[in-house]
Chains A and B, each alone.
Chain A
Amino acid sequence: GESVGLHLPTLSVQEGDNSIINCAYSNSASDYFIWYKQESGKGPQFIIDIRSNMDKRQGQRVTVLLNKTVKHLSLQIAATQPGDSAVYFCAENGQSGGYQKVTFGTGTKLQVIP
């Protein structure tokens, strides 16, 4: 069945270092991928997305890499700041039962050490 998962449930990073959060997906037909950030007590917030016809997309301090060969997605955060501490979810969008469906991974908790 379709599934989206994360390799590391918790990631601790020193402030100022770069963070890399990984995600594996299983639905090779997924055509769109999204990263969300969820701070404590808040709803998930859209960070960056990438379509399956791309392998890299950059935003402000964030980069998403997509490797369709191994069905792997990563989120890179440059110069990690305390405000980046949150749970990060990857999500894949693909066809399911004739409809577009978004499936979320279980999340990785990023802890930034001051």
Chain B
Amino acid sequence: DSGVTQTPKHLITATGQRVTLRCSPRSGDLSVYWYQQSLDQGLQFLIQYYNGEERAKGNILERFSAQQFPDLHSELNLSSLELGDSALYFCASSITAGAGGYTFGSGTRLTVV
């Protein structure tokens, strides 16, 4: 157990639907990062939050949004889902907003049918 908790582990939904992925960072970590990993692909950075505020944005689609709550957990909202959104979504956390090793959760596998 890495200390980063992601729920749900698996999610199957239809095209056009909206889902919410949840992440609880490791205790003491203030930064949360969201990554998308498609089949046989690397990790694509989506967005970062630090202590409740958006810190950096990567290749995140407009259909996707995220937020970090006062208790530091984060949610990634994916809407108007398309087949191509099927992927593993990872959350990672770190103590600071900058350099350092990340601690990853075990991911949420999203399948859009």
List residues of A (98-114) whose CB comes within 8 Å of B's CBs.
99-107
Q: Which of B43, B99, B104 meets A32, CB within 8 Å? A: B99
Q: Report how far A7 CA is from B41 CA in the complex, Å.
A: 15
Interface presence of A43 (CB below 8 A): yes
Most interface-central of B43, B90, B105, B106 (chain A CB within 10 A)? B43
Interface presence of B64 (CB below 8 A): no
Given A101-B45, A101-B56, residue A44 in contact with residue B99 (CB < 8 A): no
Given A43-B2, A43-B107, residue A49 in contact with residue B43 (CB < 8 A): no
Binding site for B on A (CB under 8 A): 31-32, 34, 36, 41-46, 49, 89, 93, 96-97, 99-107
Interface presence of B42 (CB below 8 A): yes
Q: Which of A93, A97, A103, A104 meets B99, CB within 8 Å? A: A93
Given A31-B99, A96-B56, residue A104 in contact with residue B90 (CB < 8 A): no
User: In whole Å, how far is B31's beta carbon from the nearest beta carbon of chain A?
Assistant: 10
